[in-house]
Structure 1
Amino acid sequence: MSYFVLLAIFITASTFNILCFGTIIAPIMSLSKKRKVDEECRVFQEKWSSSYLFTELNGKAVCLVCSQHVAVLKEYNLRRHYVSLHADKYDNFQGQQRREKVNELLAGLKKQQSVFTHSRDISDAAVKASYLIANEIAVASKPFSEGEFVKTCMMKAAEIVCPEKRQAFANISLTRNTVADRISDLSVDLDSQLKQKVKSFIGFSVAIDESTDITDVAQLAIFIRGVDDTLTVTEEFVELVPMTDTTTAADIFTALVGALDRVGVEWSRAVSLATDGAPSMIGEKAGVVTKFREKVQSANGGRDFWTFHCILHQEALCCKSLKMDNVMKVVIQTVNFIRSRSLNHRQFDSLLREKDHIYGLPYHTEVRWLSQGAVLRRFFDLREEIEQFMEEKGKPVLEFHSAEWMQDLAFMVDVTEHLNNLNKQLQWRNKVVTQ
């Protein structure tokens, strides 16, 4: 028989053996693959506690001595662990003595587990407290570093009121970075809730206001009020958009549309827009109101869309249009004479203390027009002391002796006080024009 014939027979036989082997082994392997430990319904038996010092915890066998767990709940595994690690020490315990030892080990394990659970509860409570305090810091517009000051105060109070709880207060993390992270998490969560709520609106209105902050950066505040099919009204602050460059109508409109698109509004459901009376807002040809109306009506098929001016802005214009300069000019000059000179201010405050007055005389700021009402009210209440002080300084206010001027002063006090009260009533949530 030639070499090539022998080689062919060998290859054929080898192939046959491999095929036969695969035919026989494949069913066995498939059976072994289907066999899973978690499907064998192995149950922990009570006798194993006494025999091998094990107990069941969360579906796993845990050693009462070293707290190690055995992955597969099988008697062989438990016995091997006990024999190799603990048999020399615990085989001497038999009968009642062994049962007592098992109970003692069980009690120790339960105590250890309760300590871990208590520690976890304390940790969760500390994190929750950290979020609550961070929220209060944000609502009060306080610096993030105030968290460390708050924690110092809490620790001082805990040392006196409840020394045993001192560690619980110490676990509350209120560092500057932590407070910043907490506030960021709260902001993300609120933004997510708003996006979900916006999807349910059957109609919504928008209010915007643009003003410059103390760093000379224009800030655009955007608010939304919507109602769902159950007539539940939701009023939320959407975003504060910094306008670092120009504040033209196009810039404001672009920022407004971007903020509303970010929360996912349905433009066809917009019904109104409220702004102040600035030209960039209400310009007939290229104002924000005109651009916003065109965008909404292109989405809703040309249905009605309403626009409103801010009521507070109209109040400011009303105050300016009263033309009571004969009153305000005298009041401002007198207040400035008293407040702008340190000596006059100290002497006037001393006079007020002698007459048991608990408040002084504030400045009037033209930008903060509501301060006009506070100045007029204080000026009217302290008119006798002001008249006395100005006469002592050789700067008598002759208008105090005019009945007509005093009537104008009283009228201005009443009007501005009414506007201030109205302003306070219009603030905060759930305030509508019908109220």
Structure 2
Amino acid sequence: MRERMREENVTDELTAYHCIIHQESLCGKALKMEHVMSTIKRAVNFIRAKGLNHRQFKAFLEELDTEYGDLPYHTEVRWLSRGKVLQRCFELREEICLFMESKGKDTTELRDETFLCEMAFLCDITSHLNVMNLQLQGRGRVISDMYSTVKAFKTKLSLWETQMRKENLSHFSSCQTMKEKLSIAVFPCAQFADKLSILAADFRCRFADFEAQKSRFELLSNPFAVDVESAPPNLQMELIELQCNDTLKEKYERVGAAEFSRSIPDTMPQLRIQAARTLSMFGSTYLCEQLFSLMKLNKTSQRSRLTDNHLHSILRISSAQSLTPNIDELVQKMRHLQVSGSASDK
């Protein structure tokens, strides 16, 4: 893209940054708790890998009349599956141990109090990360909104660290459950507070490039609250006119930041350009991955006669956000085909 900009004699600097969703996923690895996940995966694979074990485990859960009837698989490429597997294993931790013991398997590690505490913490923090991950996904996610979601999560991490050091587990339900089952001295709140501090530091490091774009995001998300003196000089006069226009302010409050940018009048060209530049920034590769998934769903071994043109048409229709058929034009084309067909018959 930089080469193309040079060819076109574009002097503006290209803003480079990473996918927000990928960055958030990588931050979760800073906890260094893969040993907990490895133990859980071994237990899940023992139950799920063999059909007999799987059927017997489901029958075992049915006999015990548990809330859940099965264990999900963990898939590394599906980030959200990690939290689901952890949550289910924590809920069924006693049943899993009983079943594995009936099969002659050693469950010493699964019953270890330190391991159970680590499992509870990893379950809770992964659940929080999954909630944020879902908030970052979807069509029409403006980069300024996505950054606000990340900024809110960093503030939450600071709160959770402070509360954890005071042994307040209000936002960590699994940890609260384990603390009630164990003696107060056993639950390592200080250790987990340090983990939260490491996670917060990793978030600050990985999202430092977005912090540098903070003023640009504010101009899009809430131009009426921006300090005019701190804004770029080429925007200051237009910002004053915008902030003093009650009609535009009322519209902004009604339609939101993304839609409002279309309503900026032509008399404010610099603000329109600034809004367009920010809106053109993709916060994540979500749309690219969604299109690839659509292609994988349609391009299967069973559809051997699918041509490139057909696949292109299918992807264009399935990925379109709003598509309205032009009935008049289609009818007109069909009429021309019928007339030409009738003439050739004669």
Shorter-chain TM-score tier: 0.3 to 0.5
TM normalised by structure 1 equals 0.31
| Larger helix fraction of residues | 2
| Larger strand fraction of residues | 1
Which structure has the higher relative contact order (CA within 8 Å, separation 6+)?
Answer: 2
